[in-house]
Amino acid sequence: MGSLCSRAGEPAPDSPAAEFRSRSALLLTDAVFNKYDKDGNGELDVKELSALMADAFPEQPLTQEELKVMMQALDLNQDGKVGANELRAFLRCYDPKSHHIKTKTALIIIDAQNDFITGTLANPYNGQQIVPIINGLRDKVDLVVISYDWHPEEHCSFVESANAGKIAMLDEPKTFEPFTMITLKGDADRPEHQQMLYPRHAVQDTWGGKCHEDLVLKDTDKVIYKGTKPNIDSYSAFFDNCKANDTGLLEMLQSAGVTDVYCAGLVFDICVKSTALHGAELGFNMLVIHDACKPLSDAQVEPTKAVLASAGVDVLSVDEAVGKLSARKDRTLKEFMSGIRRLKPAKRIHREMDSMSSHALLAGPGTNPSKTNTFF
């Protein structure tokens, strides 16, 4: 496309580039989108996206390889095109004056609930120790999200439900022990897949489902609930274990323009890990604060760190997190692209864990979860 700049080096007032310098570009009106959608099909191909990015970042041109990576990052449904909603999610973070990507932070507090701290599925490593640490992080981020495990009474992850014949599974009926792996039958909402059985926990509207009494909660906090359906579990705060249903967290973070997501809570090697992997897969800069978490199995701390690191997730201490939050700055487009490249393995890693049993302990009947190291 031709030059969009005036003689003074500024974009012509009626050009798309000029619109990028206005606040309206952050909302990406249909008029702006249509200026780049040359074939009028409601989507941008690589060539059209290239023209848009040249205007959005005139001093930071992308190579063809970088443009390909950007296309993959923005194309959330992987259909080879970028739609208006996908581009809006990116432009919420774009500062039209500096041509930088604005940094906005969120803290996801995962499953800091009574049953996981002192209740039926109490953490073996004194889970309440992380509560004051989490409280100290709240005011350092832009957005706080509370994630609740929130199960109906006869949930498919409960050993009590299995023993009462309430679960549709392929396994022969017997008396199951906690931390036994079963295979759930497929249904309209889920494919056949493996499921770990746990003691009944985090039942909706019970004491065990409430957050620990010392955890600071505010009216401004956002809240999501996971594992709400009786027939499917959800370790991740983003999706259920078959990725058939989402919790609303993705839209929540995108609407707020969040770029960097810090994870804390319970447990490090299951729900925190799954949340961080999904977040990386979705393109967020994911950071897990390891000393604001507790594991189910201490033996899995280092392997979990390795998996997260391979997916581009930062695992850091609370002191390191506070340092990053205090020194945060906007990113150049090149820095943003570097972050996208780092996250590319996340989707492959999660795909290799499709059964989701790899997010959970594989232990025989009666095994103490704090003493086993059998995961896959």
Predicted local distance difference test score (pLDDT) of residue 228: 97
Same-domain pairing of 210 and 136? yes
Crossing angle, helix 301-310 and helix 273-281, to 10 degrees?
A: 0
pLDDT tier at 361, thresholds 50, 70, 90: very low
Number of domains in the chain: 2
Q: What letters, b where the CB count within 10 A reaches 16 and e where it falls short, cover 24-43?
A: ebbebeeebbebbbeeeeeb
Structural domain includes residue 335: no
- Residue 73: which CATH number? 1.10.238.10
**Per-residue pLDDT for 25 more than 70?**
no
**Annotated catalytic residue 156:** no
Structural domain includes residue 263: yes
**Annotated catalytic residue 242:** no
**Catalytic one of 111, 149, 233, 314:** 111
Half-sphere exposure of 46 (CA within 13 A, CB side): 12
Q: Which residue has the higher pLDDT, 248 or 351?
A: 248
**Catalytic one of 104, 226, 273, 294:** 226
Report phi then psi at 126, rounded to 5.
60, 70
**pTM metric for this prediction:** 0.79
**Per-residue pLDDT for 184 more than 80?**
yes
Same-domain pairing of 32 and 142? no
**Catalytic one of 269, 271, 273, 294:** 271
Domain boundaries, position 302: 105-329+344-359
Same-domain pairing of 199 and 216? yes
Highest mean pLDDT among 83-87, 98-102, 243-247, 370-374: 243-247
Same-domain pairing of 232 and 321? yes
Question: DSSP assignment, residue 237?
Answer: S
Same-domain pairing of 182 and 55? no
Same-domain pairing of 264 and 306? yes
**Annotated catalytic residue 271:** yes
Residue 223 tokens read as 């809240």
Structural domain includes residue 9: no
Structural domain includes residue 89: yes
> pLDDT (tens digit, 9 = 90+) per residue, 37-66?
898 888 888 899 888 888 877 877 888 888
